[in-house]
Amino acid sequence: MYQERPSRLAGAVVWTNSPAGAGTQPVLPDGCIDLLWNEGRLLVAGPDTRAHLHDGPPASWSGLRFFPGAAPALLGVPAHELRDQRVDLAELWPAAEVRRLCARVEAAPHPATALEELALQRAAPPDRALRRLVTALAEGRPVAATAGELGLSARQLHRRSLTAFGYGPKTLARILRLQRALALARRGVPYADTASRAGYADQAHLARDVRELSGMTLTDLLLRQRGEQVDTVSVGVVHDGVPLAPDRVPGLDPARVPRADQLLVHGVHLGRPVAP
C-alpha cells in the first residue's frame, strides 16, 4: 500500500510503499527528484522524461519527493546529470558520509521520517523565482509569458531550468500539463473535457501525449491498478477496480475522503508512483 503526507520541508512529500501484490507500476514524469531508501541503500531518482519501470522484485520503499527544482541545491548536482536515472547516493556524496547516513536511516523507527530529517538539515533556502515558475506552469501559463514575468530571457530560463529540473521549461510545462490531465481524469471528468481544461488542443492531443509520456493509453493508465489497495482515508477509492471520485461511489460518504480532488489509484499519484 502507498501512503504519503506533506513534509515539513516546504513543498516536499514523504511517502512509503509496501507492495500488496506482484508486478511493478510505471513511474510517470512529474518534474520531481526523490531521495529513496530501499533495503539498506540510499538512492536518488532523477527527473524522468518518460515512464520508468522498476525492474527488481517487489520491495518496500520509503522516499522524500522534493518540490520540483529543490533537490539539486541539496544534492550538489545539477538535475540534468540525473535525468532518467536512478543512482546510489554514494555516487554523488563521499562514501563514508553515505555509510553514516545509511546507518542512521537503518536505525530509525520510520525510514521515511529519517529521510525527511536528513533533508531538513541540509536543505538550501528555496529559490523563489523557480517556485513561481513551477506554480505558473502548473496552472497552464505560457512559458514565454512566465519568463517575461520573471525578468528572464528565454536562454536564461532554459539554462536555469536544466539545472533545476533536468530539462527545459517547455518539457516541464508538458509534464505538468500531463499531471493536470491525470488529476481531472481520475475525478471522472470526460476525456474531451479533461483535454480542454488541462490545456490540450483536443482529445487526440491528450491521447498522444499520454501515450508518449507513459507508454500506454489514458484508459489503461487509469485502470492499471485494478483491484489493488489504496489508502482511502488519505487519497480516494477504487470501486470494483475502477478509479472514481469518492462522491461517485454508491453508498460512500464523501466526507470520509477529505481530499476528493486528489484521487490516487495505487501506484500512480499525479505522476509519481509507488515503486521508483
Q: Is the dihedral of CA 231, 239, 226, 219 positive or negative?
A: negative
CA 65 to CA 7: how far, in whole Å?
A: 9
pLDDT tens per residue, range 86-121 = 999 999 999 999 999 999 999 999 999 999 999 999
Hey, is 52 helix, strand or coil? strand
Per-residue pLDDT for 32 more than 80? yes
- The full length of the chain comes to 276
The pLDDT, as a whole number, for residue 71 is: 97
Q: What is the pLDDT of residues 14-24, one digit of tens each?
A: 999 887 655 56
At 20 the pLDDT is 63
Measure the CA–CA gap between 203 and 220, rounded to whole angstroms: 16
Quote the mean pLDDT of the chain. 83
- 26 touches 214 (CB < 8 A): yes
- Given a contact cutoff of 8 angstroms between Cβ atoms, the answer to whether 267 and 10 are in contact is no
pLDDT at 195: 97
7's enclosing H/E stretch is none
pLDDT at 57: 78
Cell of 41: 541503500
